[in-house]
Structure 1
Amino acid sequence: MRDKRDVLLVDGYNMIGGWPNLAALSKTDLEAARDSLLERLADYQAFSGRQVVVVFDAYRVPGLGKSFTQNQVEVHFTKEKETADECIERLCHEFARPRRQIYVATSDMVEQHVIFGQGALRVSARELLIQIEQSEKEVKTKIAERSNSTSRNTIDSKLSPELRKMFERWRRE
């Protein structure tokens, strides 16, 4: 049984084509572009708390249709003769639950109209990239704050002055 978190369905190749750094990378190494996308989406999933599901179009590629999990992100390659849009529409229906919001990341206008009809909300490739970059900045800020913190959690800070003197005396003996 699936959990009750909000769901972000991502049209994988649409994001790769819509994000400048991944579009450039995909021209030389499509697998590296896919892996980079999945890595950033895994970080975003951990930050946002949304369940992320990525769909890659395997249309006209016989024998595919596999699903697996990579870095806790659910990845689907479409079945033979199925487009990513059709798979996303099917997943919208499967993930539909009361009080669960489904977001679909795609810049495909036709797909946007279809998912609106199913009650899902649209996120364009550009909007998702901005959200991910913002979450990455927030994570870096929090890490920097923790590393710059002067209040270290040491045993010494928890000891009373009398105990510190006693331990210091023992150490010197």
Structure 2
Amino acid sequence: MRNVFVDGYNVINSWPELNNIKEYSFEAARTKLIEEMLNYSSYNGYKVFLVFDAHLLKGSIEKKEKVDNVIIIFTKEGETADSFIERYVNSIGRRVEVCVVTSDSLEQQVVFQRGAIRMSSIEFYNEVCNTRSNINKKTKRNISTDRNLIEDRISGEILEKLQKIRKSH
């Protein structure tokens, strides 16, 4: 299973729709990103680590919450999302497939040296948009195949009679 590490605030600041939401509420932008990651993870079968900086919050301890295959992490005081990701990638980077999403070029170099694939936030945005589009197509296809029409269950002769009755009223 591919492990995807996402620098949450880096992505929020890079994606146009999340950046607009952030202007009103960081909480709303985080929630929207979490929803996107749940869909992305579920559709692709990936494990996503969504990491948010809490290093400037006094007394903050590391918090993790798992929702399906998405692990939401708030770092502890004094730890950036970058350092958290580096630590994790260092411990698993060469044993499993790891992708790190950040637009921080120094961070990209560090994680690449530790065995991870790197992806910019904008590249990831395009990948998530493609996933969203594929989900929508699949959903529409499933809806159309799940339709249960009367035309499919009765004979042509009865259907013709019903249409005549409908037209006469």
Report TM bin, short chain: 0.7 to 0.9
Deviation, structure 1 residue 72: 4.0
Alpha-carbon distance, 1:83 to partner = 1.0
Match of 2:66 among 69, 73, 80: 69
Cα drift, residue 151 of structure 1: 7.5
CA contact (8 A) 1:54 1:75 kept: yes
Letter aligned with residue 75 of structure 2: T
Q: Return the alpha-carbon distance in structure 1 between the equivalents of residues 59 and 146 of structure 2.
A: 57
Contact 1:56 / 1:78 at 8 angstroms: preserved in 2? Answer: yes
Task: Give CA deviations for 1:116-156 in whole Å, capped at 9, x if unaligned.
Answer: 1101011111111111111111111111112222785xxx9
Separation in 1 of the partners of 2:138 and 2:10? Answer: 31
Counterpart in the other structure of 1:22: 18
**Is the contact made by 1:9 and 1:54 (CA closer than 8 Å) also made in structure 2?**
yes
Counterpart amino acid of 1:86?
A: S
Q: 2: CA distance between counterparts of 1:150 and 1:37?
A: 30
Question: Using the alignment, how far apart are the partners of 1:47 and 1:63 within structure 2?
Answer: 37
Q: Do the aligned partners of residues 150 and 102 (structure 1) sit closer, same or farther apart at CA in structure 2, a change above 3 Å counting?
A: closer
Contact 2:94/2:116, CA 8 A, preserved across alignment: no
Identity of aligned residues (%): 35
Cα deviation, 1:10-55, whole Å, max 9, x if unaligned, reads 0000000000111111121000000000000110000111100011
Long gaps (5+) in structure 1: 158-173
Partner of 1:32: 28
Residue in structure 2 matched with residue 88 of structure 1 by the alignment: 85
> Are 1:115 and 2:111 an aligned pair?
yes
Pairwise CA distance, 1:71: 5.2
Using the TM superposition, give the Cα deviation of residue 63 of structure 1 relative to its aligned residue in structure 2, in angstroms: 2.3
Q: 1: CA distance between counterparts of 2:78 and 2:109?
A: 22
Shift of 1:113: 0.6
TM-score by length of 2: 0.82
Query: Contact 1:40/1:132 (CA < 8 Å) preserved in 2?
Result: yes
Partner Cα distance (1:118, 1:97) in 2: 7
Query: Cα–Cα, structure 1 residues 115 and 150, in superposed 2: closer, same or farther, change >3 Å?
Result: closer
Match of 1:49 among 45, 49, 54: 45
User: What TM-score do the two structures reach when normalised by structure 1?
Assistant: 0.80
Aligned to 2:76: 79
Counterpart of 2:128, as a letter, is I
Give the aligned residue type for 1:22.
Answer: L
Report how many residues are paired: 151
